[in-house]
Amino acid sequence: MASPDPPRMKIPSVKSLELQGWENDLEYGACYMWPNITSLVIEAGDVFYSLSYMEMVLLSFALPSLRAIVLESNWIEPYPWSTGNFISFISRSSCMISTFTLRNVSLSDSDLIAVLRVIPSLLHLEINDYISPNPQSHHGPITSHLISSLIQHESIFISLVPKLHTLHLDCHHNTRTFDDSAFVSMVESRWFRPGSDLSAKMSAMGRDCIRSVVLKVDWREVDAEVYKPLWVLDKEGLRVVVAGTNGIQV
């Protein structure tokens, strides 16, 4: 069967694309070039196929103007993930992602770090850990390893997502082993007052100041004492929200 005409020939003015897939109705091996799409949402369904719908889209699309991508699943179990397919999609598209949102998709912290390495232009990151009916059998990507990887060091020129402005984490797994102190250190490493010497130094290194941080932790309370250093940053201009089962503490 011949491949369908590239979608750009049919609807060239489309800027935003939302795909909801419950079966693989894309033709395997086809390449859909949409040069004007700036926003992509993939809401995936079940995974009873050899290739999931999300994988098929990532394997089949090239979106050179893409700036924002949302990957989510409403499936009862955490949706499977292929880091290689995502990296191939970014390489094929040659796009500059500024907003990345991941909801209810199962990947390890190492996989997420690998993803973040190929989108250094990222400004806005939102990760919502999947909610599994059997949380003991799954591990989400929001871990102390991820948080430590996001810490910026003045002496190291290369850093992960150096231009990050907003970070939103909804943590449903690994909450009992989550390193609150490391999270505080990570936020402190990415905050510097505008106009300061540190700000000038970071700017010269291609780094931006973080502007907003939201952390929501399920299954346990948040120790307000640990997060006190962020109160100071909040007063200096950083938007900070930290909440646990005992409510908002910062």
Q: pLDDT by residue for the chain (250 residues), tens digit each?
A: 444 444 444 556 789 999 887 555 666 667 888 899 999 998 876 554 545 778 888 888 999 999 999 998 876 565 667 899 999 999 999 999 999 999 888 888 999 999 999 999 999 999 998 665 555 555 678 999 999 999 998 777 788 999 999 999 998 876 677 889 999 999 999 998 777 887 888 888 889 999 999 999 887 888 899 999 999 999 999 999 999 877 667 6
Cα 40 from Cα 32, distance rounded (Å) = 13
pLDDT at residue 50, rounded to an integer: 44
3-state secondary structure of 240: strand
pLDDT at residue 160, rounded to an integer: 95
pLDDT at residue 195, rounded to an integer: 76
Give the rounded distance of the alpha carbon of 240 from its chain centre: 18
pLDDT at residue 23, rounded to an integer: 53
pLDDT at residue 6, rounded to an integer: 44
Cα 176 from Cα 142, distance rounded (Å) = 12
- Phi/psi at 173 (5° precision): -120, 165
What is the DSSP annotation of 87-128?
HHHHHHHT----EEEEESB---HHHHHHHHHT-TT--EEEEE
Cα 104 from Cα 209, distance rounded (Å) = 28
Cα 54 from Cα 85, distance rounded (Å) = 10
Instruction: Supply the pTM of this predicted model.
Output: 0.87
Q: From the options 3.80.10, 3.30.200, 3.40.1000, 3.30.70, give the CATH code of 7-248.
A: 3.80.10
Task: Give the helix/strand (H/E) hosting 213.
Answer: strand 212-217
Report residue 203 as tokens: 């700017």
pLDDT at residue 5, rounded to an integer: 45
